[in-house]
A and B are shown apart, each in its own frame.
Chain A
């Protein structure tokens, strides 16, 4: 499994950023023909990045596991629609974001009817790495939902504001405002 050292999409090496290695392409083709084992290889290749995205978007490790499962199941359902025009991970990442946003909309509808008790959501950060990394993960998890989503998608995943506005259904200006707010909060947290 690839452990990507660079976080921003723009800074990633091309192969790592896109996951467009020959092995991946072959696995995608075989998965499209119904080979579950090949899809399992795709899962092991990309689960780390998908899970990281889910953890940061949801700020909840348990929910992130569920979202990761949902994303891969959805990917299996839709893998025939992948035409290879972009990288497989780009396609998978967009699909994961859609799954996460759909789940969030459903959760917001449920929360209007049911008041959930506090559970051990994240502020839980990855256990390894250095303290600064952990602090930033926790600070991201404490961000307001909209600001966190925009920050993760823009600053970490490398999406542009126009793409974010399309992905999560907000105005581009709102996306910029969310990002500004998230950065202000994070700067205060880290200083």
Chain B
């Protein structure tokens, strides 16, 4: 049962006009837009556009896939060398009599040496030019093509005593882009532990690191990816011993730039 107000409202609504004309003629604007469309867009034309778009998209996806495959092949080669390197780092005795107790890391250059890296993987350190024995070594400075070279480069940077977190007090970076790198480093660390014939004692505590290395400001001077790689490498090496290396690094703790590793994989056996 409708109230009188409802009936009144219905009556008024029924009396509303069904047609209201705009204040100006809209047709010229509409015609202009339609002419700009170049005719009605038929279903066939739309299907053709869709087909062209899909073909272009497929071609792009195929090209990207090929690039990814090519880059992964290149990284596999790098990782072979990286495995050699890491194996030599972990098991110096297994690497042969020529190999010393610790891997042959890059010689510590003079303080303040600038490092210039080009795309070919060669690094210029100050006056002398050192060529990376492994292309993956370039990843320690430049862009990382894959996680395994990053892991290798990170190991090297870490092996050079790049205790940047301790040195600079920088917070631990927990970024999602580095999650993959973190897991890769952990895997590399675990793999090293498996391959290692015998551990030589407990992992050194952070306090055991020399004060001059801690205050060297190395980490503060590291920038961008290199710094993050160094931080990640620290996590990967928590189970490793670097006593002799720290002794070696103690004398060069005033470095401003982390030293690039010159490591000859052939020597490592």
Name the interface residues of A62-101: CB closer than 8 Å to any CB of B: 64-65, 68-69, 72-73, 76-77, 79-81
The reply to whether the CB of B33 lies closer than 8 angstroms to some CB of chain A is yes
Determine whether the beta carbon of A133 is less than 8 Å from that of B27: no
Range for the number of chain B residues in contact with chain A: 20 to 34
| Contact residues in A for B5 (Cβ distance below 8 Å) | 187, 190-191
The size class of the interface chain A forms with chain B is 35 or more
Instruction: List residues of chain B with CB within 8 A of the CB of A43.
Output: 26-27, 30
- CB contact between B18 and one of A6, A34, A80, A155 (< 8 Å): that residue: A6
Given contacts A73-B37, A80-B43, A48 and B13 within 8 Å (CB-CB)? no
- Taking a contact as CB atoms closer than 8 A, the residue among A6, A79, A126, A190 that contacts B40 in the complex is A79
| Docked-complex contact B42 and A80, CB < 8 angstroms | yes
Among B22, B30, B43, point to the contact of A64 (Cβ < 8 A). B22
By a CB distance below 8 angstroms, the chain B residues around A155 are 13
Give complex CA distance A17, B107 in Å. 91
* B26 vs chain A, min Cβ distance (A): 5
Interchain Cβ contacts within 8 Å, total number:
116
Main secondary structure of the interface of A (DSSP, over half): helix
Question: Are B33 and A73 in touch, CB under 8 angstroms?
Answer: yes
Give 10 closest A-B pairs by Cβ, nearest first: A48-B19, A4-B18, A52-B20, A7-B16, A187-B5, A72-B30, A51-B22, A73-B33, A48-B21, A76-B34
Residue of B nearest to A183 (CB): B9
- Measured CB to CB, the residues of B under 8 A from A are 5-6, 8-9, 12-24, 26-27, 29-31, 33-35, 37, 39-43
Assess whether B13 is in contact with A136, with CB atoms less than 8 Å apart. Answer: yes
Nearest neighbor of B45 in chain A, beta-carbon distance:
A80
Question: B19, A52: Cβ atoms under 8 Å?
Answer: yes
* Separation of A154 and B126 alpha carbons in the complex (Å): 81
- How far is the CB of A184 from the nearest CB of chain B, in Å? 9
- Whole-angstrom distance from the CB of A147 to the nearest CB of chain B? 14
**A154-177, CB under 8 A of B: which get 1 and which 0?**
011000000000000000000000
Most buried by A among B18, B21, B26: B18
Cross-chain contact B39 with A7 (CB below 8 angstroms): no
Residues of B within 8 A of A55 (CB): 20
* Beta-carbon nearest neighbor of B29 in chain A: A69
B16 A156 Cβ-Cβ under 8 A = yes
Please name 9 pairs of A and B residues whose Cβ atoms are closer than 8 Å in the assembled complex, sorted by A.
A4-B18, A49-B18, A65-B26, A68-B22, A68-B26, A72-B26, A72-B30, A80-B43, A129-B17
